[in-house]
Structure 1
Amino acid sequence: MRAVHLPAFGDPTEVPAYVNIPEPAQPAAGQVLIEVLYAPVNHNDLLVMGGNFPYHPELPAVLGNEAVGRVLALGDGVTNVRQGDLVTPPLYSGTWRERMLVQADELFALPPDADALQLSMIRINPLTAGLMLSEYVDLQPGDWIVQNAANSGVGRAAIALAKARGLRSINLVRRPELIPEIQAAGGDVVLLDEPGAAAKAAALIGNGKVRLALDGVSGASTARLIEFLSPGAALVAYAMMSGEKVAPGDLMPLMFKSISSHFFYQNRPQYRSKIPALLREAAQMVAAGQLHTPVARTYALSEVADAIAHTLAGGKVLLAPQTN
């Protein structure tokens, strides 16, 4: 059976290995066997490869943090899913392979007519967005949020979930050609992430309260986000796409406006009881066409090096393990 292994931590462009591994056994009691249909290449996959992520698998390990699969066989006692159902395996279960055994207790049947490519991406980005929208500020309908990285998977999920919850969003992008695209995705205000953007937003939203900022970029963009925030708001960082570890700019408003700052990591114990409901919400939004992330391309497992290079260059790509 084909898979992608991580034999050692290192450069993501060098360490992944396309390998043959033994077929999984037939499912034991409480397990299901699934065939993996699509598995995203995420930036956190790249961080895992480099050993720069809170999750460190025991090596060698099959890579892949999320996927969508189809149930092939059931172990004794499994009643929550049936053969043929689409499911999303647990986080960090090693999805870059053709088939895998997973425990059934966390699974549920995904909408059968929903786009399988989109379903493969519900485990990380929509849950990240959903939890950030609920866990730091008691947001009320009509409140505003602001985010950079609005074109990312998390950014698009935040737009869709905010709209479903009656919130309004200010969205920052780094390229002007993305503005109409994010407007079409439901962003209420879309601006370039540049000096002066906060003043433009203030003129557009009037007396609106910006109570939450979502930071996926870091660096100077972090300092700019603070300018948007109302007193008592929260700044939540979840990624550092710029690679910058400092935030040059005026950080005094953090104190003057009593802004709290946080770093989000989905796999913390306090979030686990909330994951099933959020997953179901995301799956239904995919089925309704409310949650969509453009996919640039799919790759076979044997093309994993090209898939990683594409991810590093920009664009959402998926591995398709059933493709030869």
Structure 2
Amino acid sequence: MFNQGICYPRHGAPEEVLSYEKLPLIKLDDREVRIEIQASTIHPSDLGLIQGSYGLLRPLPAIGGREGVGKIVEVGSAVTEEVMNKIVAVPDLVGAWQAYCNCHVDNLILLPALIPYAQLAVSILNPMTAWRLLNDFEYLKEGDIVIQNAGNSAVGVSVVQFAKRMGLRCVSLVRSEKRMQELIDFGAEEVWLDDEEVPKRTEEYTNGKGCSLVLNSVGGRSATRLAKCLKSGGVHVTFGAMNGEPVRFPTRNLIFDDVRFVGFWLDRWRRQKTKAQIRNALEEILQPLALTEVSYPIDSFFSLDEFPQAFQRNAQSRFGKVLFAKDKQALMDSMN
């Protein structure tokens, strides 16, 4: 038995530095388990890690991928056999784009057993970001209005679902009518085109009161439009920069409306929390998934050796995540 993975020896464009390689299986320590990875996803932050632009980089050479799901298939000599076949999250730092990885038993994150692997593979990073955005920056009451750009993104879809569960009204902005219809079909109630009419339309929608919270992952003019949608004292949170343009805040709103501009990075949030706090936070996002109260759109599946095609698809306009799968057909069947 051998391992295999998608690796990069240096930073650079994915098409230039990534390669599919056979890897040795690392011997288990006494308190480690071996995880057979069933599915993993491609996140924008994965590209930042490969390109060398992310906020926290891995030692090189590295295996790609931050999030995935697997099954425990082997345990170390000091680990009880009871954990065999448990479904767990792939540890963040080991690289999720591989067939197997090791994990210390104390660091295992158990996942709901009856949920399809495809859903579990995307159940932590983006949903956790969405949950923190809705709960950490403003005291939101039932009926409060939140507006976000990139509403069809993985975080955006999570925000839509969690906001609904919290009794909030959520407005999602997207860039095309096709994306509008997809998000509406997924259950979003207010979906608008991200254009210059957004501030005026927001004023009408909120009866002149404005939004309590705006969520920006795009930047540029879109972020500026969002700032003009805030109520007095509202909060503008930036957690991404999809178009690479700087966020320019409207001075008038900053001064006269006392709005706040803040940022959020999930990695920093996690470093500030204890293991117990993180596990409690995970329970808040995994319970709705286990109860099938939320779900996450999946676009397509690829095997590890098909990574060039996977990245090509990931670069295209789509609704849902691109996944690497141990068994593509089984994962596709589980989604039907």
Same topology, TM > 0.5: yes
The answer to whether the aligner puts 1:283 opposite 2:283 as a matched pair is no
Q: Which residue number corresponds to residue 207 of structure 2?
A: 206
- Whole-angstrom distance in 1 between the partners of 2:281 and 2:185: 24
Q: Which residue of 1 aligns with 2:220?
A: 219
Query: 1:319 maps to what in 2?
Result: 324
TM superposition shift of 1:53? 0.4
Structure 2 counterpart of 1:310: 313
The question of whether the paired residues in 2 share the 8 Å contact of 1:173 and 1:193 is answered with yes
1:40 equivalent in alignment to 2:46: no
Asked if structure 2 preserves the Cα contact closer than 8 Å seen for 1:37 and 1:68, the reply is yes
The answer to whether the 8 A contact 1:298-1:320 is kept is: yes
CA distance in 2, matches of 1:94, 1:195: 41
Distance of aligned partners of 1:203 and 1:259 in 2 relative to their CA distance in 1, 3 Å threshold: same
Give 2:24's match in structure 1, choosing from 6, 22, 26.
Answer: 22
* Residue 148 of structure 1 pairs with residue 149 of structure 2: yes
8 Å Cα contact 1:226/1:251 also seen in 2: no
Please name the residue that 2:333 is paired with: none
Contact 2:142-2:167 within 8 A present in 1 as well: yes
Structure 1 unaligned spans of 5+: none
Conserved 8 A contact 1:36-1:322: no
| 1:86 maps to 2:87 | yes
Aligned with 2:110: secondary structure? Answer: coil
Please tell me the residue identity of whatever aligns with 1:220. R
Contact 1:282 1:291 in 2 (8 A): no
Worse overlay, 94-103 or 266-275: 266-275
Shift in alpha-carbon separation, 1:313–1:189, aligned structure 2, 3 A: same
What is the CA distance between 1:5 and its match in structure 2? Answer: 0.8
**Does structure 2 retain, via aligned residues, the 8 Å contact 1:143–1:168?**
yes
Q: Does 1:259 align with 2:264?
A: no
Could you tell me how far 1:271 is from its partner in structure 2?
A: 4.5
Amino acid at match of 2:258: S
Check if 1:115 corresponds to 2:128: no
Any conservation in 2 of the 1:127–1:279 contact (CA below 8 Å)?
yes
SS of 2:95 mapped into structure 1: coil
Name whichever of 75-84 and 162-171 sits farther off: 75-84
- The whole-number CA distance in structure 2 between the counterparts of 1:272 and 1:153 is 26
> What secondary structure is seen at the aligned counterpart in 2 of 1:296?
strand
Ranked by relative contact order (alpha carbons within 8 Å, sequence separation 6 or more), the top structure is 1
TM, length-normalised to structure 2: 0.89
| CA distance in structure 2 between the partners assigned to 1:81 and 1:197 by the alignment | 55
Aligned to 2:15: 13
Contact 1:198/1:227, CA 8 A, preserved across alignment: yes
Q: Any conservation in 2 of the 1:143–1:208 contact (CA below 8 Å)?
A: no
- Secondary structure of 1:157's counterpart equals helix
C-alpha deviation, 1:253, in angstroms: 1.1
Paired residues of 2:30 and 2:79 also in contact (CA < 8 A): no
2:334 maps to which residue?
A: none
Q: Say which SS state the counterpart of residue 232 (structure 1) adopts.
A: strand
- The Cα of 1:112 is off from its aligned counterpart by 1.5
| Cα contact 1:127–1:275 (8 A) shared by 2 | no
CA contact (8 A) 1:68 1:86 kept: yes
TM-score by length of 1: 0.92
1:24/1:101 contact within 8 Å kept: yes
- Superposition CA RMSD, Å: 2.2
**Does the C-alpha gap of structure 1 residues 129 and 58 become closer, same or farther in structure 2, counting only changes over 3 Å?**
same
Runs of 4+ in 1 over 6 A off after TM superposition: none
Counterpart CA distance in 2 for 1:55 and 1:298 is 28
Cα distance in 2 for residues equivalent to 1:292 and 1:81: 29
- Distance in structure 1 (CA, Å) of the matches to 2:152 and 2:57: 28
The SS at the match of 2:228 is helix
Q: Is residue 71 of structure 2 the alignment partner of residue 66 of structure 1?
A: no
Task: Answer whether contact 1:66 1:93 (CA < 8 A) is retained.
Answer: no
Q: 2:101 is aligned with what amino acid? A: M
Offset at residue 49 of structure 1 (A):
0.5
Q: Distance in 2 between matches of 1:285 and 1:157?
A: 11
**Matched-pair contact (CA < 8 Å) for 2:37–2:90:** no
| Alpha-carbon distance, 1:132 to partner | 1.3
1:318 offset after TM fit, Å? 0.6
The C-alpha deviation readout for 1:131-185, integer Å capped at 9, x for no partner, is 1111111222221111001000000111111122222211111111222332343
Structure 2 unaligned residues grouped into runs of 5+:
330-336
Question: Comparing 9-18 with 185-194, which one deviates more in the overlay?
Answer: 185-194
Contact 2:203 2:210 in 1 (8 A): no
Q: Which stretch of structure 1 is more off in the superposition, 99-108 or 314-323?
A: 314-323
Q: Residues 109-258 of structure 1: matches in 2 within 5 Å?
A: 109-206=110-207, 210-247=211-248, 250-258=250-258
1:295 aligned to 298, 304, 310, which one? 298
Residue aligned with 1:150, SS:
coil
**1:7 corresponds to which letter in structure 2?**
P
